[in-house]
Amino acid sequence: MEEKSKADQQALDAKAKGHDEAKKVSDEAYGRAYKAYKEGKKQANIVYKEAKKMAVDRQAKKEAGKAYKKAIEQAKQVRDEATRKLR
- For residue range 42-82, list pLDDT tens digits in order: 999 999 999 888 888 899 889 999 999 999 999 999 888 88
> How much is the pLDDT for 1?
47
> How much is the pLDDT for 10?
83
Domain count, the chain: 1
Positive or negative, the CA dihedral 35, 40, 43, 45 is negative
Side-chain-facing half-sphere of 63: CA atoms under 13 Å: 9
Does 27 have pLDDT greater than 60? Answer: yes
> How much is the pLDDT for 83?
81
Taking the whole predicted model, whether its pTM rises above 0.85 is answered as: no
